Amino acid sequence: MTDFAGTGKVTGERAGAMKFASDNWAGASEKVIAALAEAARRGGPAYGGDALSKAVEDRFAEVFEHEVAVFPVATGTAANALALSAYARPGGIIFCHADAHVAVDEAGAAEFLAGLKVSGIAGADGKLSLAALREALAMVPEGATHRGQPAAVSLTNITEIGTAYSADEITAVAEVARGRGAPVHLDGARFAGAVAALGVTPAELTWRAGVDVMSFGGTKNGCVAADAVIFFQPSDAREFAFIRQRAGHTFSKHWFAAAQFDAYLKDGHWLELARRANAMGAKLAEAIARSRIARLALPAAANEVFAILPKTVDERLRAAGAIYYAWPDTASISSAPAPDEVLVRLVTSFATSEADVKAFAGALVTNS
Amino acid sequence: MTDFAGTGKVTGERAGAMKFASDNWAGASEKVIAALAEAARRGGPAYGGDALSKAVEDRFAEVFEHEVAVFPVATGTAANALALSAYARPGGIIFCHADAHVAVDEAGAAEFLAGLKVSGIAGADGKLSLAALREALAMVPEGATHRGQPAAVSLTNITEIGTAYSADEITAVAEVARGRGAPVHLDGARFAGAVAALGVTPAELTWRAGVDVMSFGGTKNGCVAADAVIFFQPSDAREFAFIRQRAGHTFSKHWFAAAQFDAYLKDGHWLELARRANAMGAKLAEAIARSRIARLALPAAANEVFAILPKTVDERLRAAGAIYYAWPDTASISSAPAPDEVLVRLVTSFATSEADVKAFAGALVTNS
Amino acid sequence: MTDFAGTGKVTGERAGAMKFASDNWAGASEKVIAALAEAARRGGPAYGGDALSKAVEDRFAEVFEHEVAVFPVATGTAANALALSAYARPGGIIFCHADAHVAVDEAGAAEFLAGLKVSGIAGADGKLSLAALREALAMVPEGATHRGQPAAVSLTNITEIGTAYSADEITAVAEVARGRGAPVHLDGARFAGAVAALGVTPAELTWRAGVDVMSFGGTKNGCVAADAVIFFQPSDAREFAFIRQRAGHTFSKHWFAAAQFDAYLKDGHWLELARRANAMGAKLAEAIARSRIARLALPAAANEVFAILPKTVDERLRAAGAIYYAWPDTASISSAPAPDEVLVRLVTSFATSEADVKAFAGALVTNS
Amino acid sequence: MTDFAGTGKVTGERAGAMKFASDNWAGASEKVIAALAEAARRGGPAYGGDALSKAVEDRFAEVFEHEVAVFPVATGTAANALALSAYARPGGIIFCHADAHVAVDEAGAAEFLAGLKVSGIAGADGKLSLAALREALAMVPEGATHRGQPAAVSLTNITEIGTAYSADEITAVAEVARGRGAPVHLDGARFAGAVAALGVTPAELTWRAGVDVMSFGGTKNGCVAADAVIFFQPSDAREFAFIRQRAGHTFSKHWFAAAQFDAYLKDGHWLELARRANAMGAKLAEAIARSRIARLALPAAANEVFAILPKTVDERLRAAGAIYYAWPDTASISSAPAPDEVLVRLVTSFATSEADVKAFAGALVTNS
């Protein structure tokens, strides 16, 4: 069977491998590990009753320049499905891009945990098309008992194909959602990369643009397991402690999650890590563009590079030890691969070195 | 908001109305009502322990020329979602036509009752495209934990837009499903119409073509409330009594459901009713085709006529008392309406009279 | 395995049988059937858009002397679980009597359809003990994330063991519930029997006593399939149309449900039927009390008679053709059966004749 | 509102506090943290595709002397509910002790995630009564559609009140379960404590005694967040990767969970930690027994000490800085507190020092 992203089938622990499979193949930042070690010596009240868990909420409020309610959970999938649960309604429908993680990579978590229908919407460059979103919403008019009702609109930034929504683009989506009374969820598994890439503030990409709740991901950017649901309207979180608990996502040693976020957010460490990953992404993209052997499928905004390779080159690179996924979802990519080509995703991380990129660039052009 | 099929908003009890809104606007056949009255005098053991419930199972076996397990439930939506529940798996996905009732008209019943993701597949004329189905299945390769796994392929006959799958077409879909180990579900809300239209046996359109389970609908064709889940592999029904009970669908006076099916199936009454509805559909289609004012959106196989009307004509007909729905799902209709036109669905039933059709045909051509 | 109420295993269509298995073994009232036949001739807009469905809501409002929102569903189990769904909260718990239908006879419908935990509370005579209820509520203090939170208190009238809550008793339960912000649900599968037995108004046994929502059952008292969820605060029903639809409980030919309720409520027909059933219950209880062979387990308030029989007598009665269930739930019955005795439930209905009772009374005392 | 275990309300980070609130207030073992740091430097394939995740499965197999399938998840609550999900059936019921975590402390996780009814069974000393279990199973005879069907029997070792099931006691429960075809689940949140306390092998307390699946907890005994579902019949785990993913419990940096378990199990570190906690528990119990001011509610088998204190002493201890929970669930404790007494739970951990115990012992007898 096909071996593509989402299947979790690519493996590789070969020495010297050029690992671009995903940013969740990287380890963790030293600062994050040091914070865990410190928390391990200290301990504290369980289930979030400790001082650090409270302090981290304040730190998030500072980062976002807004009151927030913060709930660490175990994974980005949990963050997405549980955030959406807070807005679930009987017959509720989530509208998101057809390629969104919540639509295709969570084994039905939103359906299962939140009882929602997931409606995938088309859109170029991995972004929701406003026209398609409006059309989809029009198909579930208010009171249409059979059709269901909008529960939320969810968007992903950095998108699944490595592009970035600008604050204005998010605002435009939020306005359409608001027109139907639907809250806006942001899947921010790679949110740090978006902030770093766009040079805007976290506030501008979230509540100022109309986002009500987000999945804030630290795991892909240097943490051990640090994903959190962040509500910008704390009253929306009224029942969330119960939502989290009945899904088995309340960490007992909650301060370990808090410690990670504390170190991650302190002194802009999170953006420093993201800038490093993005810089490596840019270098990788440049090497590909320059190679005349492969081409970029679309411009890389952050740390994900989508490239189209001749199949022979793909085989050569893999034989040389490069690790990355073929990418199956081509619908929103304008420049589609030819039959003898393959669309691939290459992901850099905070841990990617210039040497890694150079090795790949070299392998790309070498006719071994 | 739009007033289209699925919204349940069209209303109308005007005298002399030309009612083509749906076949579930019709009353019930006299034979069915007589059977209910007879059952009311008799009573019997509750929850299906009575002799008639058992006899009806035998009658179904005879109709289908195959051993069956039969479970009446309250509605077609329940039949669909509960039938699919019997094949639900964690991370399970149902593949069906993008316009299927199970995808768009059940307020998320399959997601809610069976915990399934519903994946809408394209296809002309309301039928699953084999190529699109194969492609969709390829996107959830075996063991792809994130993507989920096929739970079933569901098809609808008569389709949502009034076309009919032939036995060969069903066989072809079933082969693709079988290639991935997925069972085949048939939404037969209008199954009688399909059998009557195609002139084949019930067996040929079901188990002989690879169908494992079906929703058998009597309600739209002359019953009061008679929908049933029919398993062609009775072992698949192992847990179904519990599935039905925890969904609140075990009728206590079960023999009232049995009585309806008994009268419905006896001496081919169900096909007689369907032939009447289909004949009226054919007359209506003919009137429209002949009118030179409206045109058929696609050939009508049974009792649903999809027509494209100039908006002015649409208004005129409604003013004259005709009742029918605008139809919002145009994706699988090749001949789409122009901006000044509207796609409408006109449904006949066993209770439609020639006078009704004539009244409509007259109103269509009259420049009042 | 044991053959007791809830297993649905007792069967019997022997001629001349003394059938006291359940009131859902009876057929249907002639008036109800006549109304169905009339509706069958008429038809009408589907899904509750018809005039009769609206008229029935008015009729209910008149019966209850209060504004109501009325939603017919297929069964009493559905009515219970869906009514409770309207008040479901993450981590929500339903408190009800340990023997309640919702706790032990619905195969987990409340857990499945509403995601609720069901907490069975002790109490003599089938009624919630206020002290036990208070204690159970104290175990889930506000904000106790692990323990969950009260979603509703549910009580059943006529209770599962044939006793009746007075209006004052309901008021007392409702006050305890209200003290924790929990709404009150009434399982009224045999509500007509309670009203008839107590000689009070429907209002006094419901909203005046603090009931927020009820399952109103007509099926056990002369209808074909007529159970409805009735909200006394119509705003609580805001999402109920979706709750009902995604559970597959929206009848398409909704007017058939309406027609039953219309005939059932008209001119007090429902209370007339209940009085007949209760009168037969009283005669049966009297015969048992007088027999000196069997004894009443507790006084019969309506149409359910719980008796304790010597096992030899039980065998003799069954051999003579009497049909009834052994009753397994003895916790709330003070007068428990001895080892050589058995607790049985005998249920009369609107269709029970004096001859049936006499036959049983005769068989009871006859040493054949 | 009451401040008891399960509410998560006790807080305290006072210097010098005698912290006996729970073993999840302790930090983490140095060896576990060192393993995390090492994994952080290394990284690896995501989602369990790495070599360490596979090696850990082998290590578990060695510890249990049996083939196993191992799935780390985020919490003990998740481990319980998801383990049970693998055995869920429509209408399924879990039988467990009335005080079990799965029954009262998971906010309905088993109901929500596995769609199961949870039936709490009585039993002295926190252990299932075989008679009560048999009786409860008899109430859901095979095929009793209304009542539901057994899905699993779950027991907890160390129990919720600090006692330990012997291997023979588990075998006896498993035999009853097996008699009804129900698999056996073990909640092993404090399993290390049980093995250490009883001086038996892990195998003897699990599969040899009839356990099919367990929740293996490392978090309470020195890990950061290390709970895992362990199947002793790997074929039972067939769908578990999907069960875990759709619940959001598949760690992407899976090797961080693996690293914790690797260090935890290596060279018997887990039992060393548990023996330390148990030794402190024994000393604490001894101090209480000797105090003549408080008394033990029941003998402490491992690291949980249940004591009955005069309320005045309780107040004095808390004022002196001692932290522990009042315990609300008294049903299975034979020696109940008098009105002027309180039942409390004191938990030691690997991090408890002799000084902590001495400070408490001193505060207990000091009339300050």
Convert the pLDDT of each residue in A287-343 to its tens digit: 999 999 999 999 999 999 999 999 999 999 999 999 999 998 777 788 889 999 999
What 3-state class would DSSP assign to B361? helix
CA separation for the pair B312, B326 (Å, rounded): 14
Q: Which residues contact D137 (CB under 8 A, 6 or more apart)?
A: D95, D150, D176, D179, D180, D182
How confident is the prediction along chain C (368 residues), in pLDDT tens digits per residue?
Answer: 346 666 655 555 544 568 999 999 999 999 999 999 999 999 999 999 999 999 999 999 999 999 999 999 999 999 999 999 999 999 999 999 999 999 999 999 999 999 999 999 999 999 999 999 999 999 999 999 999 999 999 999 999 999 999 999 999 999 999 999 999 999 999 999 999 999 999 999 999 999 999 999 999 999 999 999 999 999 999 999 999 999 999 999 999 999 999 999 999 999 999 999 999 999 999 999 999 999 999 999 999 999 999 999 999 999 999 999 999 877 778 888 999 999 999 999 999 999 999 999 999 998 65
Closest CB from C7, C111, C115 relative to D146? C7
Give which of C3, C75, C111 to mutate to test B binding, by max B Cβ within 10 Å: C75
B90 interfaces chain D, CB cutoff of 8 Å: yes
What confidence category does residue D1 fall into, taking pLDDT thresholds of 50, 70 and 90?
very low
Q: Point out the least confidently predicted range of B149-153, C54-58, D363-367.
A: D363-367
Supply the DSSP symbol for B238.
T
**Is D125 a residue whose pLDDT tops 60?**
yes
Better-scored residue on pLDDT, C3 or D164: D164
% of chain A exceeding 70 in pLDDT: 95
Cβ(D227)–Cβ(D215) below 8 Å:
yes
CA separation for the pair C173, C184 (Å, rounded): 8
Cβ(D356)–Cβ(D19) below 8 Å:
yes
Task: Identify which of B25, C231, B1 has the alpha carbon closest to the alpha carbon of residue A138.
Answer: B1
Does C113 contact B11 at a Cβ distance shorter than 8 Å? no
Better-scored residue on pLDDT, B283 or D329: B283
Does A47 contact C145 at a Cβ distance shorter than 8 Å? yes
Distance from CA of D43 to the nearest CA of A (A): 4
A103-119 mean pLDDT: 96
Residues in chain C: 368
The per-residue pLDDT for D333 is 83
Q: Which residue has the tokens 């297993």?
A: C7
**pTM as predicted:** 0.96
Residue C59, CA distances (Å) to C43, C64, C185, C217, C262 in order: 20, 9, 21, 15, 8
CA separation for the pair B60, B260 (Å, rounded): 13
Better-scored residue on pLDDT, D177 or D7: D177
% of chain A exceeding 90 in pLDDT: 92
> Which two tokens mark C302?
């309506």
> Which two tokens mark B301?
């196989």
DSSP, residue by residue, B147-183:
T-EEEEEEEESS-TTS----HHHHHHHHHHHHHTT--
Q: What is the ipTM of this complex?
A: 0.96
The per-residue pLDDT for B333 is 83
Neighbours of D53 (CB within 10 A): 23
A69 interfaces chain D, CB cutoff of 8 Å: no
| Each residue's pLDDT tens digit, B208-244 | 999 999 999 999 999 999 999 999 999 999 999 999 9
Backbone angles phi, psi at B229, to 5 degrees: -95, 125
Which residues in chain C belong to E strands, given as ranges? 18-19, 69-73, 92-97, 117-121, 149-156, 184-188, 213-217, 227-231, 295-296, 304-310, 322-323, 325-326, 341-347
Q: Which residue has the tokens 């356990």?
A: D211
CA separation for the pair D170, B76 (Å, rounded): 47
Q: Which residue has the tokens 């095979």?
A: D142
> Which two tokens mark A41?
């010596």
**Is B15 a residue whose pLDDT tops 80?**
no
A52 interfaces chain D, CB cutoff of 8 Å: no
What 3-state class would DSSP assign to A121? strand
CB pairs under 8 A between A and D: 203
Supply the DSSP symbol for A336.
P
What 3-state class would DSSP assign to B62? helix
Supply the DSSP symbol for C4.
B
Where does residue B111 rank: exposed (0-12), middle (13-18), buried (19+ CB within 10 A)?
buried
User: Which neighbouring-strand residues pair with C160?
Assistant: none
Closest CB from B36, B219, B250 relative to C224? B36
Closest CB from C8, C111, C142 relative to D146? C8
> Which two tokens mark A12?
């590789």
Distance from CA of A148 to the nearest CA of C (A): 7
Give which of C245, C251, C324 to mutate to test B binding, by max B Cβ within 10 Å: C245
Dihedral sign (CA B212, B218, B221, B225): negative
Q: Which residues contact D188 (CB under 8 A, 6 or more apart)?
A: D156, D157, D194, D214, D215, D216, D217
CA separation for the pair A350, C247 (Å, rounded): 48
B219 interfaces chain C, CB cutoff of 8 Å: yes
The per-residue pLDDT for B334 is 81
Neighbours of A244 (CB within 10 A): 27
The per-residue pLDDT for A1 is 33
Distance from CA of C151 to the nearest CA of A (A): 12
Q: Which amino acid is at D242?
A: F
CB pairs under 8 A between A and B: 95
Which residues in D89-226 belong to E strands, given as ranges? 92-97, 117-121, 149-156, 184-188, 213-217
Does C89 contact A239 at a Cβ distance shorter than 8 Å? yes
Which residues in C177-326 belong to E strands, given as ranges? 184-188, 213-217, 227-231, 295-296, 304-310, 322-323, 325-326
CA separation for the pair B63, C195 (Å, rounded): 47
Distance from CA of B90 to the nearest CA of C (A): 16
What confidence category does residue B367 fall into, taking pLDDT thresholds of 50, 70 and 90?
low
> Which two tokens mark B133?
């189905």
Give which of B116, B245, B251 to mutate to test D binding, by max D Cβ within 10 Å: B245
Report B:318-337 residues touching C (Cβ under 8 A): none
